[in-house]
C-alpha cells in the first residue's frame, strides 16, 4: 500500500503517540502491514535525503553527473552551480552534492 508523504508524516506522529501511550496495537488503529509500509517509506525518504546532502569529493564527479552544487570546505559561502568544465569554474570548490529534484506533491 503506497502512502503520500503527508500521510506518512501523519501516521508517524500517530505511531509515536500511540507507542508512548501503549495503545499502538490494542485499539486496532493500524495493521502491522500498514505500519511496516509507513516505516519502509520513512526509511526510503531518509535514505534519499542522505543521498542529496552527503558531500562527495571532486574526484567522484563524472561528466555524466552534469551540473551540481560545488562547495568550498569549510562551508562559509553559497555553492557554485555548474561543472568543473565551465568557463567560470572558480577552481577552489572541492566537494559537491547533486541538485535536488523537485516534488509536486
- Quickly tell me which residue has 495503545 as its cell: 23
Which of 21-25, 30-34, 38-42 ranks highest by mean pLDDT? Answer: 38-42
19 or 47, which is more confident: 47
3-state SS, residue 101: coil
pLDDT at 23: 65
3-state SS, residue 78: coil
Amino acid at each position: 500500500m503506497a502512502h503520500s508523504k503527508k500521510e506518512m508524516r501523519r501516521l508517524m506522529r500517530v505511531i509515536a503517540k500511540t507507542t508512548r501511550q501503549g495503545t499502538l496495537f490494542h485499539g486496532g488503529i493500524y495493521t502491522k502491514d500498514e505500519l511496516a509500509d509507513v516505516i519502509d517509506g520513512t526509511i526510503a525518504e531518509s535514505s534519499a535525503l542522505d543521498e542529496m546532502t552527503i558531500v562527495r569529493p571532486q574526484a567522484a564527479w563524472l561528466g555524466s553527473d552534469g551540473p551540481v552544487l560545488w562547495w568550498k570546505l569549510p562551508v562559509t559561502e553559497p555553492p557554485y552551480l555548474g561543472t568543473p568544465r565551465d568557463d567560470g569554474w572558480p577552481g577552489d570548490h572541492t566537494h559537491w552534492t547533486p541538485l535536488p529534484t523537485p516534488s509536486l506533491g
